Chain A
């Protein structure tokens, strides 16, 4: 059996903490693992004979130019070989020869180099931030009539709030961490609190805590995404639960379409999307649809914010039983999926549907045209509900 030549290892320190990463790579080399390339937070190591080597990480300039090519060549002459590059951000050099001269002999100059790189990252951060702000503005303009914030403050459900906060935190941490960490390392070099190219004075406790936090956030997002994928798979395989959900949604959609022609003449409030958004969308669409889901939930709350439970349905039944509307046409929609009630009194038409203790639809119409239209459609509605 062929012996394994490479090993993948999750890099446990921040990718932006140069001294910590250098120290960890030295430790790996002492265990016989030599860095070959970096893939995200994963290091690809060549398995070899354990030996003492040195590593040096150097930020890259804004683009590879002739100076860097010359520089690499001189580094090589001095015993330093380039072994890896990380996301066009920095190069990792390794010296196997213990007598190879130090690449950096002036901490102040090193600090200048890192400071320049920090500025580059800062520009990148500002650019990304502006792009995101523009995307949010565009989204609000297109989809939510600028009421997303209003909804979020007043009616955001716990899962929506958590998901949005998680996404924001991951974005912020990802763009801010490099700038902050390069800043702190730059200050360390400026104060000359370094020991050659291996800085042993960095307090990594906070940085490692931050990395764990980010890892936790990623894990949370990964779980939500997995849940989303699994749900789609389950739908595709015809799992009864999801088939049932689709049936419910299908009926509500049909009802909404059936009632929509009178909406121009009368006032109709509908909680059609409330069920979908509040109960199913987080599972079905996961994180990628979080924003659209939020806007749909907003619409739901705006329209039926006062009617959200079986209690209302039961209250409506009491009205019927007490014969409070003597001239009304009354009907209780007893269907396999919904509990529902309909009454029409003079110019008022009202219908509510309850699904598993959640108010999913309420229609209220005022006016002659609406009443006539809906009265005519009532048999259709009843047939559909019972069918």
Chain B
């Protein structure tokens, strides 16, 4: 199960990668970015956020860049960027399939 866990990203996982795609952010900034980007549609609980960050760090999708007091900043690795692009491609295919049915 664990090996397959990140083959498909949940919405929360996807938005964490989205937040870290172009800039390095700390946990709080990631949460704020997601709330702003989704206009409040997704409000990620701190437990969920840190579980995702820990999981991504374990899987080497992200890496820690700096620590200032209690603030830890993360950056996305090449592996993370590849996973993020693959998920976008998958979502595009899903959307294309749906649109081809004239939904």
Interface residues of A (CB under 8 A from B): 56, 58, 61, 66-67, 69-71, 73-75, 78, 80, 101-106, 108-110, 112-113, 115-116, 119
Q: A105-B12, A112-B5, A115-B1 are in contact. Are A70 and B45 (CB under 8 A)?
A: no
Most buried by B among A66, A73, A74, A109: A109
The A interface, classified by DSSP as helix, strand, loop or mixed, is helix
| B48 contact from A67, A80, A104, A119, Cβ within 8 A | A104
- 28 A-B Cβ contacts within 8 A? A56-B47, A66-B72, A70-B27, A70-B70, A70-B71, A74-B50, A75-B46, A78-B46, A80-B46, A101-B43, A101-B45, A102-B47, A104-B48, A105-B43, A105-B45, A106-B44, A106-B45, A108-B10, A109-B10, A109-B13, A109-B52, A110-B47, A112-B5, A112-B51, A112-B55, A115-B1, A116-B2, A116-B55
Contacts of B55 in A (CB 8 A): 109, 112, 116
Number of contact residues on B: which range applies?
20 to 34
B65 at the interface (CB under 8 A from A): no
Asked if A66 and B67 sit within 8 Å, CB to CB, the answer is yes
B54 touches A74 (CB 8 A): no
Q: Which residues of B contact A80 (CB under 8 A)?
A: 46
Q: For residue B6, which residue of chain A has the nearest CB? A: A112
In Å, the complex CA distance between A113 and B53 comes to: 11
Q: Please state if B70 and A69 are interface contacts (CB–CB under 8 Å).
A: yes
Interface contact B70-A105, CB-CB below 8 Å? no
Q: Known contacts A70-B70, A101-B45; is A113 also within 8 Å of B51 by CB?
A: yes
Chain B residues within CB distance 8 Å of chain A: 1-2, 5, 10-13, 27-28, 43-48, 50-55, 67, 70-72
**C-alpha spacing A66/B54, complex, angstroms:** 11
Contacts of B52 in A (CB 8 A): 109
Please state if A67 and B72 are interface contacts (CB–CB under 8 Å). Answer: yes
**In the bound complex, CA of A119 to CA of B43 (Å):** 29
Using Cβ atoms and an 8 Å threshold, which residues of chain B touch A103?
45-48
- Provide the residues of chain B in CB contact with A69, threshold 8 Å: 70
With the chains together, A102 CA to B10 CA distance in Å? 18
The docked-state distance in angstroms from the alpha carbon of A102 to that of B45 is 6
Q: Nearest Cβ distance between residue A5 and chain B, in whole angstroms? A: 30
Which residue of A is nearest B10, CB measured?
A108
How many Å lie between the Cα of A119 and that of B12 in the bound state? 23
Q: Report the number of A-B residue pairs with Cβ-Cβ less than 8 Å.
A: 72
A74–B11 alpha-carbon span in the complex (Å)? 22
A105 and B48: CB pair below 8 A? Answer: yes
A73 to B70, CA, bound (A): 8
Residues of A within 8 A of B12 (CB): 105-106, 109
6 smallest CB-CB distances across A and B, nearest first, come from: A103-B47, A105-B45, A104-B47, A106-B12, A71-B50, A102-B45
- A227 smallest CB distance to B (angstroms): 47
A104 and B52 alpha carbons, distance in the complex (Å): 11
Contact A70 B47 (CB under 8 A): no
Complex Cα distance, B47 from A78, in Å, reads 10
C-alpha spacing A70/B67, complex, angstroms: 10
The residue from B27, B28, B51, B67 contacting A110, defined by CB atoms under 8 A apart: B51
Answer whether A109 and B28 are a contact pair too, CB < 8 Å, given A66-B67, A70-B71, A78-B46.
Answer: no
Residue among B44, B48, B70 with max Cβ neighbours from chain A (10 Å): B48
Q: What is the bound-complex CA distance between A69 and B47, given in angstroms?
A: 13
Given A58-B47, A101-B45, CB of A119 within 8 Å of CB of B2: yes
| Most B CB within 10 A of own CB, among A70, A102, A119 | A70
Nearest residue, chain A, Cβ from B53:
A67
Q: How far is the CA of A233 from the CA of B16 in the complex (A)?
A: 66
Q: Which residue of A lies closest to B2 (CB)?
A: A115
Contacts of B13 in A (CB 8 A): 109
* Residue of B27, B28, B50 with most partner-chain A CB within 10 A: B50
17 other A-B residue contacts (CB within 8 Å) besides A67-B50, A105-B12? A56-B47, A66-B67, A67-B54, A71-B50, A73-B70, A74-B46, A74-B50, A75-B46, A103-B46, A105-B45, A106-B12, A109-B51, A110-B47, A110-B51, A112-B51, A115-B2, A116-B55
